[in-house]
C-alpha cells in the first residue's frame, strides 16, 4: 500500500485526547454508552478542526455596557453537515451543537456485502443549491474504509453544484485505501481524520479499527 503523506488536504489530528478516546472506542469491552460518549468527544475535536477555515465577519454588537464590532460566522455562508447513515449520526449531534444554524442533510447508503459498493436508499439534498459558492459542506462518517460511500457522497454534492474545495470529509478512523481512493478521485478535497489505520480486511473492515461503528453506537450486535 502506497504511503499516505499528510498535507494541507489530508489533516490527521494530533491531540492527546484523540489518542485517549480512540483507545476507548477500539476496546471491544467498551459499553455502547461509553462508546457513544467517546465518539462525541472525538467528534467535537474533529469538527472544531474541520470548520476552522469558515469565514468570519465583523458585525455590530450592543453589550450591556457599550456598542462594538465583533467577529462571528459570516451570515452569508451556509454550513451543511451531511452525516452518512447510520454511523454518521454519531457525529451529527455534536456538529449541530457547535453550529446550531447549520443544515443537517442526511444521506444513506448501505454496503453491498459482496461488491462492497454503496447502494443509495436516502438522499436529503436538494436537486440544486442556490448560491452554491456560499455553501460549505462537511460530510460526516466515523469510518473511512474502502472510500466507496465517501466517493459517492462527495460526487453527489459536486453533482449538486458544490465545488470540491468547499467540501470537507470528516472521519474518526481512516484506512489508507479509503484516503487514497478519495484523494485520487478528488485531489482538492480536504480530509480531517483522527487516525489512519493499517489496512482493510477482506470484508472491508478497518484493521485494527473498532468493528462496526453503527452496531457499536446503536448496540445492535447480533449475539
Ligand atoms: N464501517 C465500519 O463501521 N467499520 C469498519 O471497519 C469499516 C466500515
pLDDT at residue 1, as a whole number: 67
130: exposed, middle or buried (Cβ count in 10 Å: 0-12, 13-18, 19+) = exposed
pLDDT at residue 217, as a whole number: 97
**pTM here?**
0.95
Pair 26, 209: CB distance under 8 Å:
yes
Nearest-5° Cα angle at 90, 196 to 51: 65
Active site residue 115: yes
* pLDDT over threshold 90, residue 115: no
Distance 9 CA to ligand 1 centre (A): 23
Catalytic residue, chosen from 111, 123, 193, 220, is 111
Give the dihedral of Cα atoms 137, 143, 146, 149; nearest 10 deg.
Answer: -40
- Model pLDDT for residues 126-173, shown as the tens digit of each residue: 988 999 999 999 999 999 999 999 999 999 999 999 999 999 999 999
- Model pLDDT for residues 80-113, shown as the tens digit of each residue: 999 999 999 999 999 999 999 999 999 998 878 7
Q: Choose between 65 and 5: higher pLDDT.
A: 65
Q: What percent of the chain has pLDDT over 90?
A: 89
Q: Pairing relation of β-strands 206-207 and 190-196?
A: unpaired
Q: What residues does ligand 1 touch, defined as CB less than 6 Å away?
A: 87, 143, 145, 204-206, 209, 212-214
* pLDDT over threshold 70, residue 223: no
Pair 112, 119: CB distance under 8 Å:
yes
Write the DSSP assignment of the chain as a string of letters.
Answer: -PPPPP-SSEEE---HHHHHHHHHHH-TTS-HHHHHHHHHHHHHHHHHHHTTT--EEEEEEE-SS-EEEEEEE-TTPEEEEEEEETTTHHHHHHHHHHSTTSEE--EEEEE-TTT--EEEEEE-S-SS-TTGGGEEEEEE-SEE-SSHHHHHHHHHHHHTT--GGGEEEEEEEE-HHHHHHHHHH-TT-EEEEEEE-SEE-TTS-EESS-S-HHHHHHT----
pLDDT at residue 2, as a whole number: 66
- CB atoms < 10 A from the CB of 90, how many? 26
Active site residue 215: yes
Q: Which residues pair with 111 in a beta bridge?
A: 118
Q: How confident is the model at residue 119 (pLDDT cuts 50, 70, 90)?
A: very high
Distance 51 CA to ligand 1 centre (A): 24
pLDDT at residue 117, as a whole number: 80
Amino acid at each position: 500500500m502506497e504511503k499516505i503523506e499528510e498535507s494541507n488536504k489530508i489533516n490527521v489530528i494530533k491531540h492527546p485526547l484523540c489518542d485517549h478516546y480512540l483507545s476507548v472506542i477500539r476496546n471491544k469491552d467498551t459499553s455502547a454508552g461509553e462508546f457513544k460518549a467517546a465518539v462525541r468527544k472525538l467528534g467535537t475535536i474533529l469538527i472544531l478542526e474541520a470548520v476552522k477555515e469558515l469565514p468570519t465577519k465583523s458585525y455590530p454588537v450592543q453589550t450591556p455596557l457599550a456598542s462594538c464590532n465583533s467577529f462571528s460566522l459570516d451570515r452569508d455562508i451556509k454550513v451543511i453537515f451531511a452525516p452518512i447513515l447510520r454511523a454518521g449520526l454519531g457525529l451529527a449531534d455534536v456538529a449541530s451543537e457547535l453550529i446550531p444554524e447549520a443544515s443537517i442533510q442526511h444521506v444513506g447508503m448501505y454496503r453491498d456485502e459482496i461488491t462492497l459498493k454503496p447502494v443509495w436508499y436516502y438522499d436529503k439534498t436538494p436537486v440544486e443549491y442556490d448560491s452554491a459558492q456560499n455553501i460549505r459542506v462537511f460530510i460526516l462518517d466515523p469510518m473511512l474504509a474502502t472510500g466507496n460511500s465517501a466517493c459517492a457522497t462527495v460526487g453527489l454534492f459536486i453533482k449538486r453544484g458544490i465545488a470540491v474545495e468547499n467540501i470537507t470529509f470528516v472521519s474518526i478512523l481512516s484506512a489508507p485505501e479509503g484516503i487514497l481512493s478519495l484523494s485520487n478521485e478528488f485531489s482538492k478535497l480536504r480530509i480531517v481524520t483522527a487516525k489512519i489505520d493499517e489496512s482493510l480486511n477482506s470484508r472491508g473492515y478497518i484493521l485494527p479499527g473498532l468493528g462496526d461503528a453503527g452496531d457499536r453506537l446503536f448496540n445492535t450486535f447480533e449475539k
